Structure 1
Amino acid sequence: MDSFNGQARLQSRGVSVPGMARTVTQPDWLTPDIVDMAAVARWGAQAGLPEGPVEDVGRIGGGTQNVVLRMRWAGRDLVLRRPPEHPRTGSNAALLREMRLLAALAGTDVPHPGYVAGCTDEDVLGGVVFYLMEAVDGINPGAAIEEPYLSDAAARHAAALDTAAALARLASVDHVAIGLGDMGKPEGFLARQVPRWLDHLASYSQLPGYPGSTLPHIDALARWLTAHRPPDAPAGIVHGDYHLNNVLLARDAPRVAAIVDWEMCTIGDPLLDLGWLLVTWPEGSPDLVTGGPLAELGALPGPDELVAHYAARSDRDLSAVEWYTVLAGLKLAVVIEGTHARALAGQADPAVGLRLHRAAVAGLERAAVIAGV
């Protein structure tokens, strides 16, 4: 659920790493409890990364899950991702899956940040894994819009359509051919979704201070989804959190430069990603809007145009696209309600938790309208 929404750079200090021709610039706000950059630099030397200064370290804000840092490593712009400051059960496993998928996407036509190297030794950063990827020079629609999109309505429209095209390209990748044949459990993927996410929502009650879910329409949507579930479709890569805040738009042409935040990736039914894009699309509820600055400028395609654009580039059966959209609304609500629950437990920003709770409610309201419940 992270997004590349801007970057904070504060006063930094240089730290020399003993035995290495490397100076690490550790910002004053970045404590070793979050990311010990000297430890990262020592690991990088052992991993064969180039010698040189690690500097201009800045946190990329906007996400509510992982810690994301941008830096200059021996003159190369890189991004580091690690689990959140308060890791949850499964945080390391999710990041390991993300590493594997990004590495496998190399050479495909899916726009993504290039994978550089990953650390699977949890001792390096005190219990968490992490990885480095190439920094992408792109514009995040959820942060601040720049040219050509600022003044060119046609460019905004074309780039927004390309979010559907990029998703179709991802869905067409042969995951077995790129070495992901044993990733995930695609058999019975759709049948597992509703019970899995209902159980996940119930698990938040274990967090101190969370009184239990007050989210609307959960039971009615669960019944509708179970009664209307479509047949299983061919398996493919699922991004798992596909919306405007998780893409970077190119500066040189109206297109997607990279899809980011692969934390929830798996192998399953890729049409869930299309449903996710549709249920979060900038229309209707202001609490649910993604790509805020882009949406405010207008000239974006509507949901029907997105579906048609995807369909023209895919051989998948889209006759049940509304079902996938409703499922996405339910799943998204459960996922982001987790931040609200952790905020009440003192593990997340209360303001962010409340904002995401409102977005969860908005997503369920939209899903309920689509399902007619």
Structure 2
Amino acid sequence: MIDTERLATWLDGLDLPGKGEPVEHAYLSGGTQNEIYEIRRGPLHCALRIPPPTAPADRDKGIHREWRIIEALEGTDVPHTPAVAVCTDPSVLGRTFYLMGFVDGWSPMNMKDKKWPEPFGSDLSARRGLAEQLADGIALLSKVDWQARGLSDLGRPDGFHERQVDRWTRFLERIKGREIPGLDEASAWLRAHKPLDYVPGLMHGDYQFANVMFEHGAPARLAAVVDWEMGTVGDPKLDLAWMIHTWPEDTSSPEAATSGYVDLTGMPSRDELLARYAQTSGRQVDDIDYYCVLAKWKLAIVLEQGFQRAGDDPKLQAYGPIILKVMREAADLAETTRYRG
């Protein structure tokens, strides 16, 4: 819970509306990573993002990192939550936290039974716009001048691709509790290949429908890209691959409705989204297979961490076969792709 008296005292020292009025708050979401609360104080309406009390100490640095990104996005074309204020003083709420403008929109993660809200549930032509807006979000993100916006120290763009296999292989060795078929084949392929070009840029790190919000109603309009926990300066085309590596080419097929946690029926094909991204971002996508191998390989390793600590958690236990499937897909794509960069 939030100590509203301490929060109010801190807010009184800022140039924000609602000074002197009581603070109202409501829990919105959270878990082991970060918690989000809705905050109201007179005309002030925002969301507060904070690590849970039991989170490791380095989570505070992650929260401040997220803050730096959304603050840097101010004035860009990237839909984002407005940056309101940040607090690194643990005497206020016990952890580093930040306030962002409250977004009046909806998240695909809150849909029931994978059913899109109307009109997107019944109007497939309107549904196309959801995917197009999703692709536009990272295309616009890739164009942000991260150096001019003070993010030169956010990541280590030099040698980004050269580090990927070694870094994540070491990570896997620390948590590994079983053999993962396809791992060695995909790892060897990634070591032997590289993208056609590499233009560093700001990237989200976990870009998908789960981490965006849309405005209410049609046509589809992206309201905000959210959850910047994995944000860094690296290769933005890895965000693109993260988004489309399971995207079916034929979105009229039964696979489109069952391939993921959202129904992709009626949405643009994979190739159409790639073309849209290329047009908006100005980046070539001829080497997308390289990025898809990397995305699948990396996703399997990230999910393996959750699976290894699953215990009695059925949600984490369910990762087990998914990880094996995704890693096998990475190895199969590496074997069959014509890309030899």
8 A Cα contact 1:343 1:353, kept in partner: yes
Q: TM (normalized to structure 1)?
A: 0.78
Alignment of 1:89-168 (within 5 A): 90-126=58-94, 128-144=95-111, 145-168=116-139
Other-structure match for 1:370 = 333
Gaps of 5+ in 1: 1-29, 206-211
Is residue 305 of structure 1 aligned with residue 272 of structure 2? Answer: yes
Deviation track 1:209-255 (CA, whole Å, cap 9, x = no partner) reads xxx24444222211111111225512110110001111112224312
Q: TM (normalized to structure 2)?
A: 0.85
Other-structure match for 1:241 = 206
TM-superposed CA distance for 1:129, in Å, is 1.4
Other-structure match for 2:244 = 278
Other-structure match for 1:343 = 310
Gaps of 5+ in 2: 337-341
TM-superposed CA distance for 1:104, in Å, is 0.6
Alignment of 1:249-288 (within 5 A): 249-252=214-217, 253-281=219-247
Other-structure match for 1:20 = none
TM-superposed CA distance for 1:322, in Å, is 0.9
Other-structure match for 1:208 = none
Identify which of 45, 51, 60 aligns with 1:77: 45
Other-structure match for 1:17 = none
Distance 2:300 2:259 in 1: 10
Deviation track 1:297-336 (CA, whole Å, cap 9, x = no partner) reads x211222111111112222121211111111112222223
8 A Cα contact 1:190 1:229, kept in partner: yes
Identity of aligned pairs, percent?
40
Deviation track 1:75-101 (CA, whole Å, cap 9, x = no partner) reads 433212122454246422222111101
Name the CA shift for 1:107/1:214 in 2 (closer, same or farther; >3 Å). same
Alignment of 1:51-66 (within 5 A): 51=19, 52-60=21-29, 65-66=33-34
Distance 1:172 1:55 in 2: 38
8 A Cα contact 2:304 2:323, kept in partner: yes
8 A Cα contact 1:249 1:257, kept in partner: yes
Name the CA shift for 1:41/1:200 in 2 (closer, same or farther; >3 Å). farther
8 A Cα contact 2:183 2:331, kept in partner: no
The SS at the match of 1:237 is strand
Distance 2:186 2:89 in 1: 41
8 A Cα contact 1:139 1:146, kept in partner: no
The SS at the match of 2:142 is helix
Name the CA shift for 1:310/1:48 in 2 (closer, same or farther; >3 Å). same
Name the aligned partner's letter for residue 95 of structure 1: I
Distance 2:3 2:320 in 1: 32
8 A Cα contact 1:60 1:70, kept in partner: no
8 A Cα contact 1:140 1:249, kept in partner: yes
8 A Cα contact 2:194 2:290, kept in partner: yes
Alignment of 1:213-252 (within 5 A): 213-230=178-195, 232-252=197-217
Deviation track 1:276-300 (CA, whole Å, cap 9, x = no partner) reads 001254785999724x2x44xx211
Other-structure match for 2:315 = 352
8 A Cα contact 2:196 2:287, kept in partner: no
Aligned residue pair count: 324
